[in-house]
Structure 1
Amino acid sequence: MKINLLAGCTLAVLSLLPASGHSAPQQVSYQAPVYTNLPLGSIKPAGWLRHQLLIMRDGSTGHLDEYYAKIKNDNGWLGGKGDGWEETPYWLDGALPLAYLLDDKALKEKVLRYVNWTLDHQRPSGYFGPITGAEREKHSSVEVSTAADGDDWWPKMVMLKVLQQYYSATGDQRVITFMTKYFQYQQKALDIAPIGKWTDWAASRGADNVMMAQWLYSITKDPSLLQLADKIEQQSFPWTRWMGGHEWVISTTTYAHMGNWMNRHGVNVAMALKSPAINYQRTGDPQDLKALQSGWHDLMTVHGLPMGIFSGDEDLNGNEPTQGIELCGIVEAMYSLENIIAITGDVHYMDALEKMTFNALPTQTTDDYNNKQYFQVANQIQISKGVFDFSLPFNREMCNVLGARSGYTCCLANMHQGWTKFTSQLWYATPGKGLAALSYAPNDLTAKVGKDQTEVSIHEATTYPFNDEITFTLSSKKAASFPLQLRIPAWCKEATILLNGQPLRKDTGNQVITIDRSWKNNDKLVLKLPMDITTTVWGRHSRAVERGPLVYALKLNEKWEKATDEVEGEYFSVYPEGKWNYALIRDNVEKPAAHFKAAVVKQVDDQFVWNLAHAPVTITVPAKSIPSWKELNGVAYQPPTDREGIYKGKVDNTIQEITLVPYGCTKVRIVAFPVVP
């Protein structure tokens, strides 16, 4: 196929290229990650974070298999004829790490049923997964020569992630033998049944498969694994190439129709973010990392929303504050960033991960973690049945409500990996046999450090992201020399570090610093990250108010209503009580520190929940209302502005003090404010 790029080739054309249209395989030059994950279970959540995980254990994460029929009934991943697709592995991808983070015996026993069935029922050829229809009919297992009798590659990619985490927690060597055998099968079978044979889901998400093959290479050093990784990449969507140019992101705005929609599907994009970094591990080509930088910048410029995530409802859908994001998109983007951080060590992605986690993630589930929104909206003035301004309107109008089965149920199964994987990757190991704290939340860490592999424990006490102080207390039976790395976020102008009550150093933001010393029992390190109030610019010249890693939204009292849909079951609608059509004043926006006042109104304790009742910090802001800014079909369409970003229509000139709270504590809100004179 000959394509003249100069003639205006679009992504729609690019996506039709066969495997031979991808760039040729590059010379293998495996790059070890800058940081490596610690064994699952080394980090134990504490404080408010532990409470969040306990809520999940007592809610859907710990019990989804008991009441959700698709997983409960005759499950294919236990040998039955039921679910053999993605939802069971999705659930396990969050439930398994939760079991080990909390050291919960009952939950371990529950998830290990699926792990052990999978490990024990691998076919002689290396194929694995639920028993296929062809296998039942022919009474024979899938072989390389009969690879077409297998099922889609995609769900297996998710289960490989589950098994990787199980190995991280237990060191069970069955996983290494199992994966070695499977990848040997896959190397041959892909010639008969290419990655996209059954669906585009596998072709669009091939990076997850590549990542697992390269992870196994890091353990066994078998070069055939890198050859397999390259073959999968060649058969998958060329995300690295797309992200390295600008045609892809342009086409997501220009050709938003049914053709090639998989290329702009929000969850596919969230998973694909890590593709350039994963390829870089195999190729050593710095152009891959440049593609990542370019792709992330373009994505957030064109589709970015104030809560730190891009629109994806379901497609990438621009940066209007009336757009939203699918819950699966958030947790998959988080996972991509966690892997990007490990591979690159780039602080920019560390900041992005925290912003996404502490803002976009908590708002989209109920306090008990049993209900979720399929799509959240940035400026969300009501949660209700309706079509809204999404690229995927359901006929049942259930995309926006809070329900277990509302929208598609993929998110009901997949949402559990968000908090669990974030917790398990608060810390990383460094090449110098040290430790790196790259995201902050209360936890307890146990690890071996230094050339003598001395075991140390570190208690991280903090109410971050609401408070700016983080205290690390080290416990060890003997002194241990090792480097400790700490991230100083870009939003922090200058961090202060104290050691045992004495000033140690000050550092500017946007870097990872290293403190290399001999650490003694009861050493106490305090990191202070002063949080200034700032404003940032978003779609339609709107402004968001930020403090540290948190974005703040208008506090609106909430009216909850419960109802039942005949297809999707019980759900909640939420409506605001009070006026919401406020705008910020230009002079104040330009000097937020002088006009906006932050106050601690509640202490964050071990019972903290992400809701209005527990919102610990408020920001008071002078504002004016725009009388003509009204709800239309449940949507608060943004008022027009001039070139300077100012709304010049009629404004109520009465200045009112409005209260902002952390975005993650809200269900209905305004976060992207118009600006008035």
Structure 2
Amino acid sequence: MKATFVLLASFCSSAIVLAQNSTAGISPNKFENLPLGKILPAGWLKDQLAVQTNGLGGRQHEFYHAISQTNWMGGDGTYNELQEAGSYWFNALVPNGVLANSDAIKKRTSDFLNYVISHQDTDGWLGPEVNTTLNRYLWGRYPFLFGATQMIEADPSLSDKVVAAIYKFVQGANSMIKNNKGLEDWGKARWFEFAITLQWLYDNHPNGNEALLTETMGLLKSTGYPWEKVFSDQYFPKGPTEGLSNPLGLQYMWHGVNVAQALKASAVSYRMSGSQTDLDNASSAWDKVFLYHGRPSGVFGADEYLAGLDAVRGTELCLVVELMAAASYLYQVIGDLKYADRAEKVTYNALPATLTGNMWSRQYLQQQNQVASKKMNPDPFPTDGSYSNVFGLEPNYPCCTVNFPQGWPKFISNAFVTTSDGASLVHVYLGPFNTNIQLQDGNSVQVAVDTQYPFSDTLKTTVTASKAFTYYVRIPGWVSGGTISINSGPTQPLSPTNGLQPVKVGGGLTQILLNLPAQIVTEQRPHGSVAVHRGPLHYAFDISRKETVLKRDSQQPLAADLQFDATAAWQYAIDPSTFRFHAGTALPTLPSPIYDAEKPSLSISVTACPISWSTAGDTFVSSPPTSPNCTGSTTTIKLIPYGATKLRISEFPVFKH
């Protein structure tokens, strides 16, 4: 049974007012996540994780200066390894190593954890600032704490040692905040990241420290950015932010990654307050971000700062993976289908689109309409550099190199949850997975999901249980005419409630066959253009390209900076009345890596015609022309899953055929 509290906090002259009530409790999550390692990928998803493990994500610690071992084991600490790089890397590679069962990664993350804890200061501080006069800022430790709590979940034998170290740090942080130390703008903007770890401690290892935890949560919130104001109608920008004055005087309130992370803020507050207002704020903020800045690939535009709706403006890779993490957290706290639907769309579209198929090179910024990947002159990004859409080791800023590997592992580790009472299992993210857990009353449950989803509409699930229970599977909002069959019985139409299809599972073996077809739909975009979707996948015109190697890392030549130039016409308008879906040829296993040109077999064909569509220099395309005239005969073009494209058009002008 979880410990209970109610927190009412205000900050005035460093004082905290707390009200505790033994009859009320910390607001429970709608669903509870499973410990790291209880959910494993299968099929194509297992292969995708293997590609990452053998690529830049899983091997960067062998050579990359930002997190090489010499930088934290006896090195000079000049890269602030627990201010960003090391923390990001640790948070990402802990689940990567466990889920891929990589002994090399598990050893490296274990060594990192042990090194950091063994060098903890007597006042609890963690990081290279120990025994120095360097300033101490709290934020960089927050991702490290995420990694540490994941390691405890994967290996409970670490609990005593690691939990004690975390509590020592919490005590020191509490004292720092009371003395107005440790919080610069990044820390104030991301206060809820620390609060999530504190709530994890309260839920799993309270150890008599409830008062410390509640007080520290209150201190964080009351000294942090007021995100409910940032996301309010009064202050939230409804278009690109360059040239706008900052109405709240908060330096990073419109920073894209901060916004992606801060979508969790009101849900974190809800767990502290139990207030419906916090839930309403979380929902409103989510909707507002995508209304004014959303992208068909599932993310939102922010080439450093919020960028509006234009297809050529960028989205940072760090934003992509932080949005995925936020969506999982929000779904587990609130249970609204919209969070899970978007998490799946982002994962199956935006994440692979900004990485090369072999995952050895990544972008800083991706674009919905991206006709070149090169040093840009002119540059469409008001704040970020002209190298930002090159695929490479560290184009523009290095943060995304160390942060992006959290994407696939955390998606996998949040694919199943349990109901808050621990009696039922819920399959949230659709794809090939295996899980083996114990539910309430010692009910041992194993689940194997055999599917090529999202490259197929069919899921075959085998559930083996020692006792009867209700199994749930999420039915995405885009499903049209879905059906279910139990143990080869009659096919029945789906009847989900709040997006969840219940299945009565008996003791023993139960087989579930789901068919989740979808219609081709268009999304209206600026300038009269349209984007194309079917099911969880967004579709784009894949522009054939020439690849030029700009440079290679001196220690690891597979880590290369790549320039892509278009080698074929891409200036087309389409007739949406002519869409045809092509499922392709079913294969026993999907090609590897699946997210690369010509690898997915499914496609959508559409009638198109060439048009006049200008570029800025030879680097980026202008806005889609409205109601363009055809400049030649009609033809048929093929659209493929957006994630498999690296140069693309995905927001199309429209003509009538």
1-structure distance, mates of 2:211, 2:449: 40
The structural deviation recorded for 1:244 is: 4.0
CA spacing shift, 1:24–1:670, aligned 2, 3 Å: farther
Q: What is the letter of the counterpart of residue 230 of structure 1?
A: G
CA spacing shift, 1:500–1:565, aligned 2, 3 Å: closer
The structural deviation recorded for 1:25 is: 7.2
Q: What is the letter of the counterpart of residue 81 of structure 1?
A: G
- TM-score (structure 1 length as normaliser): 0.87
Q: 1:673 aligns with which of 633, 652, 655?
A: 652
The structural deviation recorded for 1:596 is: 2.7
* Pair 1:555 & 2:553 matched: no
- Aligned partner of 2:530 in structure 1 is 543
* Pair 1:607 & 2:592 matched: yes
Whether the 8 Å CA contact 2:242–2:382 is kept in 1: the answer is no
CA spacing shift, 1:651–1:391, aligned 2, 3 Å: same
Q: What is the letter of the counterpart of residue 610 of structure 2?
A: S
Deviations 1:54-99 (A, max 9, x none): 1121122222111112221632477753433211111111111111
The structural deviation recorded for 1:276 is: 0.9
- Aligned partner of 1:15 in structure 2 is none
Whether the 8 Å CA contact 2:178–2:219 is kept in 1: the answer is no
- Aligned partner of 1:112 in structure 2 is 110
* Pair 1:214 & 2:199 matched: yes
Whether the 8 Å CA contact 1:427–1:438 is kept in 2: the answer is yes
Q: Give the alignment of 1:257-296 within 5 angstroms.
A: 260-296=250-286
CA spacing shift, 1:490–1:195, aligned 2, 3 Å: farther
* Pair 1:306 & 2:267 matched: no
1-structure distance, mates of 2:608, 2:126: 60
CA spacing shift, 1:236–1:651, aligned 2, 3 Å: same
2-structure distance, mates of 1:21, 1:634: 53
The structural deviation recorded for 1:570 is: 4.3
Which structure has greater helix proportion?
1
Q: Give the alignment of 1:258-657 within 5 angstroms.
A: 260-386=250-376, 387-394=378-385, 397-432=386-421, 433-451=423-441, 453-476=442-465, 479-503=466-490, 505-507=492-494, 511-515=498-502, 517-564=504-551, 570-585=560-575, 589=576, 591=577, 595-601=579-585, 603=587, 604-605=589-590, 607-630=592-615, 632-641=617-626, 647=627, 649-652=628-631, 654-657=633-636
Equivalent pairs, count:
628
Q: 1:242 aligns with which of 226, 230, 237?
A: 230
Q: What is the letter of the counterpart of residue 400 of structure 2?
A: C
CA spacing shift, 1:251–1:574, aligned 2, 3 Å: closer
Q: What is the letter of the counterpart of residue 596 of structure 1?
A: R
2-structure distance, mates of 1:250, 1:532: 30
The structural deviation recorded for 1:527 is: 1.6
Whether the 8 Å CA contact 2:613–2:625 is kept in 1: the answer is no
CA spacing shift, 1:618–1:281, aligned 2, 3 Å: same
- Aligned partner of 2:174 in structure 1 is 187
Whether the 8 Å CA contact 2:239–2:293 is kept in 1: the answer is no
Q: What is the letter of the counterpart of residue 83 of structure 1?
A: Y
Q: What is the letter of the counterpart of residue 97 of structure 2?
A: A
2-structure distance, mates of 1:106, 1:253: 44
- Aligned partner of 1:38 in structure 2 is 34
- Aligned partner of 1:54 in structure 2 is 50
Q: What is the letter of the counterpart of residue 232 of structure 1?
A: L
Q: What is the letter of the counterpart of residue 66 of structure 1?
A: E
CA spacing shift, 1:77–1:108, aligned 2, 3 Å: same
The structural deviation recorded for 1:368 is: 2.4
CA spacing shift, 1:313–1:581, aligned 2, 3 Å: same
Which SS does the other structure have where 2:647 is aligned?
coil
2-structure distance, mates of 1:312, 1:23: 37
CA spacing shift, 1:76–1:273, aligned 2, 3 Å: same
Q: What is the letter of the counterpart of residue 676 of structure 1?
A: F
The structural deviation recorded for 1:207 is: 1.3
Deviates more, 1:367-376 or 1:604-613: 604-613
CA spacing shift, 1:492–1:658, aligned 2, 3 Å: same
1-structure distance, mates of 2:505, 2:77: 58
- Aligned partner of 1:205 in structure 2 is 190
Which SS does the other structure have where 1:402 is aligned?
coil
CA spacing shift, 1:508–1:516, aligned 2, 3 Å: closer
The structural deviation recorded for 1:631 is: 5.6
1-structure distance, mates of 2:491, 2:203: 37
Which SS does the other structure have where 2:339 is aligned?
helix
Which SS does the other structure have where 2:595 is aligned?
coil
- TM-score (structure 2 length as normaliser): 0.90
Q: 1:227 aligns with which of 215, 230, 235?
A: 215
Q: What is the letter of the counterpart of residue 473 of structure 2?
A: L
- Aligned partner of 1:5 in structure 2 is none
2-structure distance, mates of 1:314, 1:45: 33
The structural deviation recorded for 1:220 is: 3.8
- Report the RMSD for the aligned CA atoms in angstroms: 2.7
2-structure distance, mates of 1:491, 1:377: 24
The structural deviation recorded for 1:175 is: 2.5
2-structure distance, mates of 1:454, 1:480: 6
Q: Give the gaps of 5 or more residues in structure 1.
A: 1-17, 138-148, 642-646
Deviations 1:21-68 (A, max 9, x none): 999978675211111111111111111111111112112222211111
2-structure distance, mates of 1:612, 1:425: 28
1-structure distance, mates of 2:17, 2:341: 33
- Aligned partner of 2:5 in structure 1 is none
